[in-house]
Amino acid sequence: MGERERAVYRIEAVDRAINILTAFTHTEPELTLSEIVEKTGLAKATAYRMLSNLCARHMCQLDEKTGRYSLGYEVLKMADIRRQQLNFRMLALPAMQELRDVSNETIVLSVRDGDDRVNVDYVESRDPLRRVPEPGRRAPLYSGAASKAFLASMSEEEFERYLARTKLEKRGPNTITDKDELRRTIAKNRADGFSESRGEQTPQGNAIAAPVFDSTGQAAFVISISYVDSRFTKTIRKKTTETLLRCCREMSRQLGARL
């Protein structure tokens, strides 16, 4: 359907209601009537009528004491339904395929389960010499690039609580088992926006990983590039890392993350 055809079916009142709902943001979750008028360009009387209808349907709510409007509980209910509908695999698949094509390496999708991360899907490298992850395989959050990406997405308080309850045990030749060293590594990962590991799980296990955030600010999942060291040149590494960060930002926005 073209732009002209879509315009025929647009309903002005619906457009106005959506403009009001989208006027609220993370930085401005509460607005006065005058602020809504300014942000939407609606006439004051029109905006008031629309808000009255939205409040009646619990899409907005008015604080009588302050005179400020905010989104209502029905919006939260709809957002929760949408979150349940999201299939992370379907969301991530185009990005994973793009990353595979850029890097010619295997791309892995991981989720967090308690203090573990679990590999749930992958897009395989086309090269005969490639790493193939095992779906369902678990690893602790302190070991491997994908695991450390989850740690880096935590708040400092949550990260320290994790360290307090966790014993760091050797799993590969380069597993970090010193908590101060892990603190320094995670601080760098936060600054870089991605994590990297070399031989932390297995001797030849190398990876770069970045998190995808949801609307609550939590890491919904992590995408990692499981690469073969001999062909992962500096040029390919740079291009792949840039593509990874861009893809993860785009997916985070689709999940409603505030970046």
Judged against a pLDDT cut of 80, whether residue 10 lies above it is answered with no
Give residue 11's pLDDT.
82
Q: What is the CATH number of the domain that holds 59?
A: 1.10.10.10
Residues 152 and 178 in one domain: yes
* Domain end residue (candidates: 81, 101, 132): 81
Q: What is the mean pLDDT of residues 235-239?
A: 92
Residues 69 and 185 in one domain: no
Q: Could you tell me if 259 and 213 are in contact, meaning their C-beta atoms sit under 8 angstroms apart? A: yes
Judged against a pLDDT cut of 80, whether residue 142 lies above it is answered with yes
* Domain end residue (candidates: 48, 65, 81): 81
Residues 221 and 195 in one domain: yes
Residue 212 lies in a domain: yes
Give residue 1's pLDDT.
43
Task: Identify the three-state secondary structure at position 123.
Answer: strand
248 by Cβ neighbours in 10 Å (0-12 / 13-18 / 19+) ranks as buried
Judged against a pLDDT cut of 60, whether residue 8 lies above it is answered with no
Count of domains for the chain: 2
Judged against a pLDDT cut of 70, whether residue 84 lies above it is answered with no
Give residue 58's pLDDT.
95
Q: What is the mean pLDDT of residues 71-84?
A: 79
Q: Which helix (H) or strand (E) holds 48?
A: helix 44-56
Give residue 9's pLDDT.
60
Residues 108 and 74 in one domain: no
Give residue 86's pLDDT.
59
Q: What is the CATH number of the domain that holds 120?
A: 3.30.450.40
Judged against a pLDDT cut of 70, whether residue 219 lies above it is answered with yes
Residues 73 and 90 in one domain: no
Residue 12 lies in a domain: yes
Residues 62 and 109 in one domain: no
Residue 203's domain comprises: 86-254
Q: What is the mean pLDDT of residues 218-222?
A: 94
pTM here is 0.69
| Residue 60 to residues 14, 43, 55, Cα–Cα distance (Å) | 15, 18, 5
* Domain end residue (candidates: 81, 112, 141): 81
Residues 186 and 218 in one domain: yes
Judged against a pLDDT cut of 90, whether residue 240 lies above it is answered with yes
